[in-house]
Amino acid sequence: MSSAAERSGRAMTGEERRRYARQLLLPGFGSAGQDALIAARVLVIGAGGLGSVTAPYLAAAGVGTIGIVDDDVVDESNLQRQLLHDTASVGTPKVASAAARLLALNPLVRVETHPVRLDAANAVELIGSYDLVVDGADNFATRYVVADAAALTGRPHVWGSILRFDGQVSVWWPPHGPCYRCVFPAAPPEGSVASCAEAGVFGSLCAAIGSVQASEAIKLLSGLGEPLIGRLLVHDALAATWSTVAVRANPQCALCGDHRTITAPVSAPEVVADQARPRLDVAGLVTALTDPETLLVDVREPAEWATGVIAGARLIALGDLAAAGLPRDRRLVLYCAAGGRSARGVATLSDLGYPSVTDLAGGITAWAAERPIVAPTG
């Protein structure tokens, strides 16, 4: 990454030499590698599970400027895996919590906070102002925006993905190798992939995948080793295995191919219900629940149900929905954690001929942001 290295116009201070002493001893790294890190600007997308690992390691290594993009606040459910935050930071913006922790770890670095959702409108400007982007996004819409903006601005894209017990890492960087869309040209069908909020995530998996992302970023910035360009690293935490899959640039890729058609970031659609089946927002559900003919159904798993529910709901896990024998003469409203499973449930019941079925957009996560949840009964 010569662009970062070329900006280093000063000698390392004594404090920096003491702090980074063990790193300076590394063969092939030395003062030149450390100078490159000090001069570098890295943007971390998401201060969640992966960002909680990548950002501290980048700060500890001495990356001069670290940007953090996240529009969320710390929730108690984050603390099982997002070790950048603690109990005292619950309810505070994640970028503020992250910045405080990174500066406590290393006051010699600069932290720039961006308490916004990265989208097609701001991605090019944000990513273009950094040397490299580390992607820890938790949804397909953001992932595709990051991929597009990184390719369009020529920035290396250090990507990681986790779900349940499995993780993947790669470096996308055309023309040195493929971009994200070369391998994943489009998002999977809506509702076909559960989110971490719906499927769960093994907490220490974040450390395994995030630490690889941090290593890849440091290697790229310092010119050390062989980055994961053209290779997809796959980790199965349950089997304790790592494997590598070779991936290639696609000459027909719409983003980086010979006849590219994507000239600005394009967001993959979030998981939504069919447009012919309008969803309820929180206010709409509040109104619907005033009608005694409305039956509210929670399609999460029992362990999720136990953490809190919307008052009046009945628990029927998604896998049991078709055989549950729900009444056909009532209005059915489904909800889950974030909206993916409930959308699939709506499709299932509609296909079975239920005349009135809809769901809550954003699930109980959206409800809890505006209304109280209660302890389950029965």
DSSP, residue by residue, 26-68: STTTHHHHHHHHHH-EEEEE-SSTTHHHHHHHHHHHT-SEEEE
Residues 230 and 321 in one domain: no
Instruction: Report how far residue 109's alpha carbon sits from residue 96's, in angstroms, rounded to the nearest whole number.
Output: 15
Q: List, in sequence order, every residue forming a beta bridge with 132; answer none if it has no partner.
A: 42
Q: What is the pLDDT of residue 307?
A: 84
Residues 241 and 290 in one domain: no
Band of residue 185 on the pLDDT scale cut at 50, 70, 90:
confident
Does the structure show a pLDDT above 50 at 3?
A: no
CA-to-CA separations, 344 to 199, 269, 284, 319, in angstroms, rounded: 14, 15, 20, 10
Residues 170 and 305 in one domain: no
DSSP string, 294-316: EEEEE-S-HHHHTT-B-TT-EE-
Residues 238 and 341 in one domain: no
Which of residues 184, 218, 246 is at a domain's end? Answer: 246
Residues 179 and 315 in one domain: no
Q: What is the pLDDT of residue 270?
A: 42
Residue 166 φ then ψ, to 5°: -120, 145
- In a domain, residue 338? The reply is yes
Residues 228 and 147 in one domain: yes
Q: In the numeric block, which tokens belong to residue 109?
A: 């670095």
Q: What is the mean pLDDT of residues 134-138?
A: 93
- In a domain, residue 275? The reply is no
Residues 121 and 207 in one domain: yes
Q: What is the pLDDT of residue 199?
A: 62
Task: Identify which of 208-222, 242-256, 269-283, 311-325 has the greatest average pLDDT.
Answer: 208-222
Instruction: Report how far residue 14's alpha carbon sits from residue 4's, in angstroms, rounded to the nearest whole number.
Output: 21
Residues 19 and 163 in one domain: yes
Q: What is the mean pLDDT of residues 233-261?
A: 93
Q: What is the pLDDT of residue 269?
A: 54
Domain count, the chain: 2
- In a domain, residue 375? The reply is no
**When comparing pLDDT for 163 and 68, which is higher?**
68
Q: What is the pLDDT of residue 344?
A: 82
Catalytically annotated residue among 179, 196, 206, 253:
196
pLDDT digits (tens, 9 = 90+) for 120-135: 999 999 999 999 999 9
> Can you give the CATH number for the domain in which 206 is found?
3.40.50.720
Q: What is the mean pLDDT of residues 15-25?
A: 96
Band of residue 106 on the pLDDT scale cut at 50, 70, 90:
very high
Q: What is the mean pLDDT of residues 300-327?
A: 91
- In a domain, residue 259? The reply is no
- In a domain, residue 260? The reply is no
Q: Could you list the residue range(s) of the whole structural domain that residue 326 is in?
A: 282-368
Band of residue 319 on the pLDDT scale cut at 50, 70, 90:
confident
Does the structure show a pLDDT above 70 at 189?
A: no
Which amino acid is it at 346? V
pLDDT digits (tens, 9 = 90+) for 90-101: 999 999 999 999
**When comparing pLDDT for 66 and 72, which is higher?**
66
Q: What is the pLDDT of residue 190?
A: 52
Catalytically annotated residue among 182, 206, 256, 336:
336
Does the structure show a pLDDT above 90 at 10?
A: no
Q: What is the pLDDT of residue 197?
A: 59
- In a domain, residue 377? The reply is no
Band of residue 2 on the pLDDT scale cut at 50, 70, 90:
very low
Output the average pLDDT for the chain: 90
Which of residues 200, 223, 246 is at a domain's end? Answer: 246
Residues 208 and 355 in one domain: no
Whether 179 is a known active-site residue: answer no
> Can you give the CATH number for the domain in which 301 is found?
3.40.250.10
Q: What is the pLDDT of residue 277?
A: 63
CA-to-CA separations, 284 to 139, 160, 278, 333, 368, in angstroms, rounded: 25, 36, 11, 11, 15
Q: What is the mean pLDDT of residues 210-239?
A: 96
Q: What is the mean pLDDT of residues 3-31?
A: 83
Q: What is the pLDDT of residue 5?
A: 46
Whether 182 is a known active-site residue: answer no
- In a domain, residue 264? The reply is no
- In a domain, residue 256? The reply is no
Does the structure show a pLDDT above 60 at 75?
A: yes
Q: What is the pLDDT of residue 8?
A: 54
Residues 287 and 236 in one domain: no
Residues 230 and 312 in one domain: no
Which of residues 246, 267, 301 is at a domain's end? Answer: 246
Q: In the numeric block, which tokens belong to residue 168?
A: 């993947």
Residues 57 and 144 in one domain: yes
Q: What is the pLDDT of residue 275?
A: 42
